[in-house]
Structure 1
Amino acid sequence: MDVYRELYRRSIAEPEAFWAEAATSVTWDRDPVRVLDSGRPPFHRWFPDAAINTCRNALDRHVEAGHGARTALIHDSPVTGTTSSVSYAQLLDVTARFAGVLRGLGVGKGDRVVISMPMVPQAVIAMLACARIGAVHSVVFGGFAAKELAVRIDDARPKVVVSASCGIEASRVIPYKPMLDEALRLAHHTPERCVILQRPQAPADLGDRDLDWDEATAAAEPADCVTVAAADPLYILYTSGTTGRPKGVVRDNGGHAVALAWSMRHIYGIDPGDVWWAASDVGWVVGHSYIVYAPLIAGATTVIYEGKPVGTPDAGAFWRVIAEHDVKALFTAPTAIRAIKKEDPEGALFAQYGVSSLRSLFLAGERLDTDTYAWATGVLGVPVVDNWWQTETGWPITAAPRGVDGVALRPGSPGVPMPGYDLRILDPAGNECAPGQDGAVVLGLPLPPGALPTLWQDDERYVASYLSQYPGYYLTGDGGHVDEDGYVFVTGRIDDVINVAGHRLSTGVIEEVVASHPDVAECAVIAVPDELKGQVPRALAVLKAGAETTPDRLEREIVAEVRGQVGAVASLKQVTVVPALPKTRSGKILRAAMRDIADGRDTPTPATVEDPAVLDALRRTLRPQP
């Protein structure tokens, strides 16, 4: 590992020299002279005197270099039975035109645009168009209900919302426009205009505020790239907070482009012209980083897949896409591989499709268990690379990078720290743990380029959420340890955010819905292990005195309400009625203790518990004796 160790050492000991060199891989409107500004800690800024345009780096520079005919994007849509491809020149043309639409609606540098769309090329175009004119986009996952969309509209305060008439799943069409209309009714902020992509499966009735995407684009004049400061925001991506209020993670333009360019080549081993598939959604951080920006900045071909490649009758959907499009590397969540393994335990479908292009499988978003790792390695015959990161970091904290010699794969570990991430394991007192000893996983400041510089218009919450517990360090919220060889092992969350199939959701958001039921006195939502999705929420409810509901009826009503207010992505299926919730003497609910019980761990009763009998009763409820 000598090559890796020297690379990592240099990134920590000489960060400015390291990232100055990495910055030569992107095209600047004004070259950086100063690499790092640490004059206002803990708010550090990368390339503070430089200027850039992210869309230029993703599109224009490749066309100008003579690669306009190269395929930029492949849209594979089994739900509509269509497949199409777009070259870099074509994607540049339609992006410039839609940027002209936004400019014509008064959107300029620093204005926000909320995007809520299905997995169609227009979602990518809308993101790039915002970047082109210096606007700040905030993409909201299309599976969220109207209330969640409204919360994000109120926080971002967009001038324009971009959406579609519908989304399409294997068995149904989901109207988006009524959901958007309801979100706008609930929101306090009112966007000036909405641009709606009309889809033939369910055209929408447009109102006075609405514009038809195709008509507006056809009439628009193309817009040129607008130069922005490297430290200016590119996007806001909302992630779950433990209070139920989402946190707006900010990503800048310059550091983001540099980090993604470095990661695409060195971590994922992707070169210009390679076909890459990140099987995620543009509404999540993987979609931002590795469906849209990283592959296009690298000059690669990115696959955007409309549909659910797992959980359908076709367990070979992944292998079909890889075989048909000559995909070199796949990025997905362990949940997907577990689902395929369940349907095709012998891997016959992989052999049937004759996949020959695949060189690597990358898994992230949740814990990779050793059985899934072993199955995928045996069936695919390629390296299965676990990597660990967060919405906040935007690119991997740890990995076994394919473009750096000497880093072997180690089952059970998501790899070693990537350049710029000064990863430490600290005990509750802030002392560094010995190799093999579990503690809190933290990252020394400054975080590397590409990581969040702050939260949207909320520096205080950024400090309180991430930087206050261990001064000088960013708290990841995960626990784990590092072995003697430097490999990181992540054991799980230490807060109240759960990870459902790679989607981070706040227990607070779900608890608000559960608590609103008229028969519920108090409640708690915890993460419980799930064979397919890694984690799913489980609600524990204490009934009001005199409540006449039955447990089955309560469960049906709450599950339906969570689906309606949070969305199906929450995956709440189980609501358990309990006589009381375990609490500390100060009244804090002992969620960590409940998670341990649900995970099957025999942990001692916390000394702070108010009534040990309540915890004992919960053990019997969550883990019934045979």
Structure 2
Amino acid sequence: MLYSVNNREGEVMLHPWGLDCRPGTAMSSYRNEYHHAIEHPEAFWAEQAKRIPWTTPPRTILDYDNQGHARWFVDGEMNTCHAALDHHVESGRGEQAAVFWDSPVTGAKRRLSYRELRDQVALFAGALAGLGVTKGDRVVIYMPMVPETLVAMYACARLGAVHSVVFGGFAPHELAVRIEDAEPKVVIAASGGVEVDRVIPYKPIVDEALRTSRHRPDATVILQRDLVHAELGEGNHDWQALVDAAEPAACVPVKATDPLYILYTSGTTGKPKGVVRDNGGHAVALHYSMDTVYGMAPGEVFFSASDVGWVVGHSYIVYAPLLRGCTTLVYEGKPVRTPNAGGFWRLIEEYQVKAFFTAPTAFRAIKKEDPDGEWLAKHDISCLKALFLAGERLDPPTFHWLEDLLAVPVIDHWWQTETGWPIAANLQGLEAMSTKAGSATVPVPGFDVQVLDRDGKRAEANVQGSVVIREPMPPGCLAGIWHDPQRFHAAYMAAFPGYYLTGDGGYFDEDGYLFIMGRTDDVINVAGHRLSTGEMEEVLGAHPAVAECAVIGIHDALKGQLPVGLVIPKDSFSGDEVALEEELIALVREKIGAIACFKQVLVVSRLPKTRSGKILRKLLRHIADGKEYGVPSTIDDPTSLEHVHNAMLERDLGQASEARLV
């Protein structure tokens, strides 16, 4: 029986899920908090705002901009750097570790206490102030996974400046595009970064980006690393020399609605979207999430194996752990080959990590090299209480492999660059629930998640549709697109008025669990039947010989689209590839049916992915459909494109012979 609640207009309505949340029933703690956050958002977030220190506490909790979108804590003032560093030093946590840095690619390790990090940030903020950086100015940061990247970000926040971090190693053109859009006063870069098998000098990339950019910053600051030296020219400043001559800078109070950072994400027009995050809502939401979603308490160690160039790095390496008073682990390495498939387990044991967060693709890489978990057996990870995965859908085969391997909850949770923190999760700090393979469990309090059909009506249980979030969006979500409010509205709000369009497809099951099946453009139309490529990938990935897979829809003159599977076998696979392909085709036909028209599988050794681990399915479709394609700035291994293209050519797949690299 569905439980009835009152909506904001006072009418009685059916709860959108089939979960019984009456007091005393299972999941009542979650339901009570979720109901409070959705039905009384101002009261709920006013209470959460008390978790962080304010210069001027907010009285107006929720307001709306001229397009009707939520703005939180509009009359409050605070400083994110103070909330994450100075506040903890002043509260007696100064000698606790704020940051552990571990770099197997260089053999270096460091520990920074809250006091040490606060002092380094204050000095570097003073150095930036000496270059003319003030409140509201933009600073582009082009850095690898080193502690100084966090120092630079917090130094900007300390001054009220707006940072925009660009992943170290991005191509000059992509860096130039971001510099032109953000118009920074200063660019901060390291002399270089390290990949598994090579050193990448950053200075030539920065110089080329500045040469072609229409915007010229006032200065460039270079952090010299031992692995590569950068030659400094006109307008260049040495990081250490600036710090040696600087005076510490104090925290500058800013409005809660003032921007903290711009983070660029890919856009369909080719021009990246500059997602803007505010200060106050961001701090409140992240602090709440560390407690409620991840179950973290002050003093505990949190490890996110992402990169600071991505939103996960911003939220759960740099800001959330320190806002909560935890210790963050910064890792300059890979899941495998630095030096082996046991790297994560070594870090968890050595630093006594309580909660670990990474992308499913990282564990697919580990499973490929170590399918039986032999490296895990070499380490004592009894300190670990939960494993969190996000960034792309956690396929059930990988979920079950991890669940069998580990004695802790394996938690698939779902969120986006735009939201900045989890939309749906299994809430370890509120009420841990049973898990379901393929599900992100339930919406996080504050996110009114619904599934709508193409007519904008709520979909029935187990029926796929567009996953949307009813306004108002909670604190911490994007405040807009930098310098482009119309694009913000058109990209996210126009499709279903009153709702934020996530761009993901999925469904709620009869128990109220949310299943995210992938981007809506990964739904293919075969002879009028809309089929999820995620479901097919689930079947392929369950085969014991398959380490990783992707299914794409390619153009077909008769049926509109046809599915094609690309699979990477496990390292231990020594069978016949043709036989494997035939087995996989039969498996899909058995599990999904002949309606899928699944008749083609390619065995490949690698797939094109972003550095954050997402498979570039749209790019694969372009190759198969004979379209022009380019090497995206986010790609991890550019040679993977040529490899897949050649594999398609050998099999005469689709229109791959007409595809052209531009």
Instruction: Report the TM-score when normalising by structure 2.
Output: 0.79
Residue 436 of structure 2 corresponds to: 410
Contact conserved, 1:147 with 1:566, CA < 8 A, in 2? no
Distance 1:392 1:151 in 2: 20
- Which among 257, 278, 296 is matched to residue 270 of structure 1? 296
Q: Which moved more, 1:350-359 or 1:248-257?
A: 350-359
Name the SS of the counterpart of 1:150 in structure 2.
Answer: helix
Q: 2:631 aligns with which of 549, 554, 562?
A: 562
Alignment partner for residue 109 of structure 2, among 83, 87, 93?
83
SS of residue paired to 2:153: helix
Show structure 2 runs of 5+ residues with no match.
Answer: 1-26, 524-562, 569-606, 608-612
CA distance in 1, matches of 2:55, 2:200: 42
Which residue of structure 1 lines up, in the alignment, with residue 591 of structure 2? none
Report 1:6-17 matches (<5 A): 6-17=32-43
Other-structure match for 2:482: 456
Instruction: Give me the whole-angstrom Cα distance separating, in 1, the residues matched to 2:482 and 2:84.
Output: 24
Change (3 A) 1:530 1:43: farther
1:381 paired with 2:461, answer no
Give the percent of matched residue pairs that are identical in Structure 1 and Structure 2.
Answer: 56
CA gap 1:578/1:384 in 2 versus in 1, 3 angstroms: closer
Does 2:275 align with 1:249?
yes
- Cα 1:188–1:350, aligned 2, differ >3 Å: closer, same or farther? same
1:21 equivalent in alignment to 2:47: yes
Cα deviation, 1:188-233, whole Å, max 9, x if unaligned, reads 1001100000011110000111100011111100000000000000
Q: 2:91 aligns with which of 65, 68, 76?
A: 65
Query: What is the match of residue 155 of structure 2?
Result: 129
Deviation digits for residues 409-428 of structure 1 (CA, Å, limit 9, x no counterpart): 22110110011111111111
Contact 1:260 1:450 in 2 (8 A): yes
Q: Give the aligned residue type for 2:487.
A: R
Q: Give yes or no for the alignment of 1:112 onto 2:138.
A: yes
Residues 14-69 of structure 1 show CA distances to partners (whole Å, capped at 9, x for unaligned) of 00011011111000010011100026343321001100100001100000011100
Match of 2:493 in 1: 467
Tell me what 2:600 maps to.
none
Q: Distance in 2 between the 1:53 and 1:535 partners?
A: 37
CA distances 1:310-357 after superposition (whole Å, capped 9, x unpaired): 255500000111111111111000111111112111112112112221
Query: How many angstroms does 1:379 deviate by?
Result: 1.2
Q: Could you say which structure has the greater relative contact order, defined with CA pairs below 8 angstroms and 6 or more residues apart?
A: 1
Indicate the residue corresponding to 2:213 in structure 1. Answer: 187
Change (3 A) 1:383 1:568: closer
The size of the alignment, in residue pairs, is 545
1:19–1:381 distance in 2 versus 1, CA, 3 Å:
same
Maintained 8 Å contact 2:57/2:77: yes
CA distance in 2, matches of 1:442, 1:425: 6
Per-residue CA distance 1:388-426 (angstroms, 9 max, x = gap): 000000000000010112522221101100111111111
Q: What are the within-5 Å matches in structure 2 for residues 226-375 of structure 1? A: 226-375=252-401
CA contact (8 A) 2:169 2:202 kept: no
Q: What is the alpha-carbon distance in structure 2 between the residues aligned to residue 576 and residue 340 of structure 1?
A: 25
1:143 deviation in Å?
3.0
Out of 535, 538, 561, the position equivalent to 2:615 is 535
- Is contact 2:104–2:339 with CA below 8 Å preserved after alignment? no
Q: 2:641 aligns with which of 572, 583, 601?
A: 572
Give runs of aligned pairs for residues 508-527 of structure 1, distance below 5 A.
none
Residue in 2 aligned with 1:479?
Answer: 505
Whole-Å Cα distance in 2 between the matches of residues 408 and 578 of structure 1? Answer: 42
1:306 and 1:279 mapped to 2: Cα distance?
9
- 2:462 touches 2:507 (CA, 8 Å); kept in 1? yes
Matches for 1:201-220 after TM superposition, within 5 Å:
201-220=227-246
Structure 2: distance between partners of 1:246 and 1:39: 23
**Aligned pair in 2 of structure 1 residues 316, 446: CA closer, same or farther (>3 Å)?**
same
In the alignment, residue 461 of structure 1 is paired with which amino acid?
R
Deviations 1:235-261 (A, max 9, x none): 000001111110000000000000000
Instruction: Tell me how far apart the structure 1 counterparts of residues 360 and 212 of structure 2 sit (CA, whole Å).
Output: 36
- Which secondary structure does the structure 2 equivalent of 1:348 belong to? coil
1:156 matched to which residue of 2?
A: 182
In 2, the alpha carbon distance for the partners of 1:530 and 1:288 equals 32
- Any conservation in 2 of the 1:165–1:199 contact (CA below 8 Å)? yes
Counterpart residue number, 1:618: 654
* TM-superposition CA deviations, 1:130-174 (whole Å, max 9, x none): 000000000001131111100000000000000011101222110
**Counterpart-to-counterpart distance in 2, 1:457 and 1:534:** 28
Alpha-carbon separation, structure 2, partners of 1:575 and 1:302: 37
Deviation at 1:540, TM superposition (A): 2.2
User: How do residues 496-511 of structure 1 correspond to structure 2 at under 5 angstroms?
Assistant: none
Amino acid at match of 1:562: V
2:75 corresponds to which letter in structure 1? D
Structure 2 CA distance for partners of 1:51 and 1:529, relative to 1, 3 Å: farther
Task: Give the whole-Å Cα distance in 2 for the aligned partners of 1:385 and 1:142.
Answer: 29
Q: Which AA in structure 2 matches 1:212?
A: D
Task: Give the structure 1 partner of residue 199 of structure 2.
Answer: 173
Mean CA deviation greater in 109-118 or 414-423: 414-423
* Distance 1:420-1:214 versus aligned 2 partners, 3 A rule: same
Q: Would the aligned equivalents of 1:141 and 1:283 in 2 still touch at CA under 8 Å?
A: yes
> Aligned with 2:435: secondary structure?
coil
Distance 1:54 1:348, change over 3 A: same
What are the residue-to-residue correspondences of 1:382-461 with 2, within 5 Å? 382-461=408-487
* CA–CA distance in structure 1, aligned partners of residues 327 and 470 of structure 2: 34
Specify the alignment match of 2:19 in structure 1: none
Preserved CA contact (<8 Å) 1:145 1:567: no
1:486-515 deviation line (CA, Å, top 9, x unaligned):
111111112489xxxxxxxxxxxxxxxxxx
What amino acid is aligned across from residue 246 of structure 2 in structure 1?
Answer: A
SS at structure 2 position matched to 1:562: coil
The runs of 5 or more residues in structure 1 that have no matched partner are 498-525, 545-553, 580-597, 599-615
For 2:344 and 2:142, how far apart are their aligned partners in 1?
25
Kindly provide the CA deviation profile for residues 82-125 of structure 1, in whole angstroms up to 9, marking residues without a partner as x: 11100000000000000001111110110000001010000000
Q: Quickly say closer, same or farther: Cα 1:167–1:101, change in 2 above 3 A.
A: same
Residue pairs, 1:25-40, within 5 angstroms: 25-38=51-64, 40=66
Helix, strand or coil at the partner of 2:375: helix
What is the letter of the counterpart of residue 535 of structure 1? Answer: I
CA distance in 1, matches of 2:567, 2:195: 23
User: TM-score with structure 1 length normalisation?
Assistant: 0.83
SS in 2 for 1:27: coil
SS in 2 for 1:40: coil
Question: Greater shift after overlay, 357-366 or 307-316?
Answer: 307-316
* Larger displacement relative to structure 2 (343-352 or 93-102): 343-352
SS for the counterpart of 2:193 is strand
Shift of residue 480, structure 1, vs aligned partner: 0.6
Q: Say if 1:541 and 1:577, in contact at 8 Å, map to a contact too.
A: no
Shift of 1:309: 2.6
- Provide closer, same or farther for how the CA distance between residues 528 and 420 of structure 1 changes in structure 2, counting only shifts above 3 A: farther
